[in-house]
Structures are given as C-alpha cells and as structure tokens.
Chain A
Amino acid sequence: MFVELKDINKTYGDFQASKDVNFEIEKGSLVALLGPSGSGKTTILRMIAGLETPDSGDIIINGVRVNDVNPAKRGIGFVFQNYALFRYMTVFQNIAFGLEIKKESKKNIKKRVEELLELTGLTGLGDRYPNQLSGGQRQRVAFARALAPNPDLLLLDEPFAAIDAKVRQELRTWLRDMIQKVGITSIFVTHDQDEAVEVADSIIVTNKGRVEQIGSPYDVYKKPQTPFVTEFIGQSRFIEDYHKFLGFDKGDYRGAVIRPEFIEAFKLDNQKIKNYIDASEEGTVKAVHFRGNNLELILDVNGIELATYRSLERRRVEVGEKLRVIIFKVIAFDGDKTVILENKELLGKNINNNMLESYLYDESQKSFVI
C-alpha cells in the first residue's frame, strides 16, 4: 500500500478532530475523502502532508513512517482549498517556485514550467498574476504548481469548492483525466457526493472525525454500511414508519431509508403493473418538480411523504392524481449497521422499472438484482 494511516488521533484543545482513523491507499489510485463540513477531512489531509502532527498513530508513505519527516521531504504536492497561489508572483513564477527552491537549473525550470503550462492548457498565461485569472484557471495553476517538483502523492483540498457549478462539472472530468495521464496517487477532499462518485476510484466516508466506510463508489452507493452513510449518500429520506408500506414488516429496526430509485409509480391504467397490482398501493401526487432531465414526484403514500423520479418521456402526471406505487426495497437501520429489506410481495416476480430499466428476481441470490 502506498499510503497507510494507522490509528490516527488528533485533538485541537479538547476537540477531537480525528478518532482512530485507519485506511490504506493503493499506488496510482484516486481516492476521495467524503464527509460533511467539520467531519475532519482537511485535518486528515494536513496530517498526511505534515502541516499538522497527529497525537498518536502512524502515517506511512511508500513504506516509510513519515510522522517525523519534514513536510517538504515527504514527496507531496498539495492543492489548497482556495489555491493559496502566491499573489505577488506570476503564473510562471508560481509554478517555478518549488523547482527554484530545489535549485534546479534555469533551463530545466523553464522547460518544466512550459511543459506544465501546456499540460494544463495555460500556455500563454505565464506572465499573468493570479488575480488576472478566472477561478478555473487558478485551479489549473495550483494543480500545475503542485505537480512541478514531480511529487509521488497529490493531495487536493476541495479542489472545486471555489468554482461555480457550471465550470465545476467540466473541471471534474478534466482533473480526473489529468491525474490519470500523470499517473499520480491522489487524495482529494470533498463534501459533494456527486463529485466523489464521479471522480474517485474509491471513497473514504468520514463523519465526526471517524472513518465510516471505505469502498468503491458503487459499493458506497449500493451497500452503505452505516446509517450515516446511508443517509449521506443519494437522495435519501429517513422514514421511521416504513412498515406501514405494503411488503415490509416492522422488525427490530429503528427506521429505514428510502431513495427515489427504490420507488416506482404507475398510472392506474398502466398495463405493465397488472401482474403485481397486489404489491402496489395507492399514492397521491403532492408536487411535481422539473429537474432538468427528469421529474421529481413527491407522493403521499399512507400519509407518508416519498420522492421518486419519472422520465420526461412518460405520460404526464398532475398534482392530485392518484398513482399505484411500488416500493422495491428499503435500507433499514439495525443499531449502527444497515440491512437491505426487499419487498416481500414482490419475491419471485420480475418487474419492469422505467428508472432502473428492469428489476429481476434472482433465485440464486434470493434478492432482486438490477
């Protein structure tokens, strides 16, 4: 493993910002540290970089315990949350700084900086000062500056936070491609789950200074292991009385989370629902929100509010209209664990779900697969 954190604890005064943090990162991977604000993401990143010292635990980079190694000697490139570009240096000087400190020759510096300017699409902007650049360009400079001394590990603190939503999408793809091209092991912090899911190979979810779950975006999304992750990921709604829905028993759970994609709603005259009309129950449309590429329906089912998506290609529904609603599954909370509960009424049936394409009962796994 390229980076390992073992039993890391860190307190600021009497506030514990990291609690028993353990994780490992493979060489060459792009990992997201995902968690709500204040969950200790930046703290972890700063400890790896050596800008903070853990109270206890080991930080190992490339097989060497670096706790007592000078930050500058850890082979790390760091992109700060607001870039921290040197304001009184030009773009060229910013990128060249680390190389100058390393006493590289003028010729090599010029060559490397120009190479990076080209790589990051900043050719021709070398003489500008940071305040003459757009947000996206600044981020690229920060990225180029961090990469200039050829680090082995790249750390990025909320690299997209200061950029407006439209450009952000573009930059995400850009950054992922760029990191792949350079082939550098990278950890980036974000509190935006879409960002983590889209960009990262694997995700470390943090909450209140602890690591809640580590896994691929797919696993974190499909198999959230703790109630926190379940609620944090996706468009989750916590419902205490989920057993009021058809097909679910009460059990010993304190409640369950339902996501829009766990629900399908059909018009009453829909032919496809005929076979499993028994598994459906009535819901009333309370609101319809246009969400760009689909609609979000807010439904009232048995007095409980649920949300589901509906393709724009399907027939229109009106507020107040009654629909047949099927809930495929819920994620129930069992203490600090989670359990996926399938709809009992549907066992053994194959259902066509417009959002999920099809939803088939797998006899061997005794559960539905998508």
Chain B
Amino acid sequence: MVIREKKKLTPHGIILIVISVLFVLLMLVFPLVSVITNSLKKGFDFYIKSLSTEYVLSALRVTIIATVIAVVVNTFFGLMAGWLITKFNFKGKQILATLIDIPFSVSPVIAGLAYIMMFGRLGWASPIIDSINEMFGTDIQIVFAIPGVVLATIFVTFPFISREIIPVLNTQGKDEEEAAALMGAKGFTIFRRVTFPHIKWATIYGVILCTARALGEFGAVNALSKTRGETFTLPLEIDALYLAGSADSITAAFSVSSILVIIAVIVLILRNRFEHRELKQKEQV
C-alpha cells in the first residue's frame, strides 16, 4: 500500500498548480463550455429541433449500433485474449500481445483505408463477400455501409479492454487457477468463479473507455462512410453540419456536439468511480 505523505505547498508548488489549472481551463473546459453555450444560442426550441432532424436521428442510431456491437465484440475478445496471454504458454504468445496493440499505433484513417483496400471493389476480400451474397441471396455491403462503420469502430477500440485486464491478471499469477484445476474445475468454471472476480472492475472500466472511444471515433469511420442520413455517425454528422456553413447549421452542429459532450462528462464521472474501485481492488492484492 502506498503511504501518501502530505507535504506543505512551497511557492513553486503554488505557481505550478496555478499554471496547470489555467492550462486545463483554457485548453479543455472553456472550449467544452462554449460548445454548450453555442448550442443554445438560438434558444431551446431550436436546440430540440436541430436534434430531431432525420439526419441526426439516423446518425444517433448508427452511432449506437456501432458502439454497442464494438463494445460487445471487444469485451468478448478482450477477455479471451487477456486470459490466453496471461494464463497459458503457447507459441506466438508475444506476437499476439503485440498485435492486439496495433490500433494504438496506427492512425484511424489508415485503419479505414485498410478496410477499403480489403473489402472495396478492388480489394482481395471483395470476391469472398460477393460469393457469400450469391450463396445466401443476401446483399451485404461492407465499404460505405453500416458493417464497414461497425468494423472500423471495432478496430479502433480493440485494445481497450484487454489492455485494462492484462496487467491485473499478470500480477495475480496462475496459482488460484491451478488450485481450482487440481480440484477438478473446468476452464469456464475456473474463469467464472476464480479469474473473473479479479478483473470485474478492470473489465467495467475497460468497457467505459471503449464506449467513450467508440462514440467519438471520426477518422476510421470517415473513410468508410459516405452517405449522410444512412451511414453517418454523430461525429460525421457534426462535421457535415458545420461544413454546410450557414449560421443555423453551425448552431445545429454545436447542438449535436453537446450530446457527445454530455455523454463524455457522464463517462468521465463513471470512469472516475470505477477507477477508484479498481485501485482499491488492486490495493487488496
């Protein structure tokens, strides 16, 4: 456990604190507050009206679909990958651990382009999709369609959950699992009863981070989504409204932005709560 010593503030300390508070206010708080004030510039009625256009509602729907799917998929794979990497020894384990982190180091735009290269007209995976469509009589499109938006969102948020749980599992070791296995418990029972309680808070924390990132994703989705009112997500819709340039549409852009800002603040509060829980759990270890 860390023993925190309370130190008296020196003049240097006070100056540093003032500078950082000013910086945070200037760079983060004022801009966000101005989003809210701008969104209400033309009155509350206008605010509601600009949120209930067809385009915005469609964008909200797409955003929620993409976020929910990304969070579910990444929670599943994140838990699986985290468990594999920390509890088992196999060839290529290190490579897998590195691969998971790729989305952190690749620009989202590149991720979007990569999917176009893969699934677009000339992409190597395009014939596969075509033949699937032929076989089942479906009409699945990836690029410039909702599946593409979902894939892009999954890609950029892929590491969030495994990244949170791997360190926790690593410090925990394998003893408890081995003890359970010796008593005859099988894989899933061990995971559910022994491993998961250790990573419960880390997983929830990861889900929150993943959600926040999925909601706000712009770059990768931008590359794969071209139709306003159909495949646009909230960030893309905001961009479109803003670029339209009229005073009304700019205010509308701010109104839509305010939704994301409010969600962000909620996430921040949740994040704080769960981070605290997670730390407490770590301290018990």
Contacts and interface: CB of A to CB of B under 8 A. Distances in A.
Interface of A: 49-51, 71-73, 76, 78, 80, 82, 84-89, 97-98, 101-102, 131, 145, 149
Contacts of A71: 181-182
Given A87-B198, A87-B284, A101-B189, A72 B178 contact: no
A149 B176 contact: no
A78 B285 CA distance: 22
A88 B198 contact: yes
Given A87-B198, A88-B197, A88-B198, A98 B178 contact: no
Contact of B180 (A73, A76, A82, A97): A97
Contacts of B181: 71-72
A144 to B, nearest CB: 13
B132 interface: no
Interface residues of B, number: 17
A86 B178 contact: no
Contacts of A76: 182
A100 to B, nearest CB: 9
Contact of A72 (B175, B183, B194): B183
A354 to B, nearest CB: 49
B197 A84 contact: no
Contact of B184 (A51, A80, A84, A98): A98
Contacts of A78: 178-179, 182
B175 A84 contact: yes
Interface in B163-212: 175-176, 178-185, 189, 193-194, 197-198
B175 to A, nearest CB: 3
Contacts of A84: 175-176, 178-179
A71 to B, nearest CB: 5
A72 B182 contact: yes
A101 B181 CA distance: 10
Nearest to A70: B184
Interface in B14-32: none
Contacts of A97: 180, 183, 185, 193
A95 to B, nearest CB: 11
20 contacts: A49-B182, A50-B182, A51-B178, A51-B182, A71-B181, A72-B181, A72-B184, A78-B179, A80-B175, A80-B178, A82-B175, A84-B179, A85-B176, A86-B179, A86-B180, A87-B198, A88-B198, A97-B185, A131-B284, A149-B184
Given A72-B183, A73-B184, A80-B175, 17 more contacts: A50-B182, A51-B182, A72-B181, A72-B182, A72-B184, A76-B182, A78-B178, A78-B179, A84-B176, A86-B176, A86-B180, A87-B176, A87-B284, A87-B285, A88-B197, A98-B183, A149-B184
Contacts of B179: 78, 80, 84, 86, 145
A235 B63 CA distance: 74
Contacts of A85: 176
Nearest to B284: A131
Interface in B249-285: 284-285
Interface in B36-57: none
Contacts of A88: 197-198
A253 B198 CA distance: 58
A131 to B, nearest CB: 6
Contacts of B194: 86
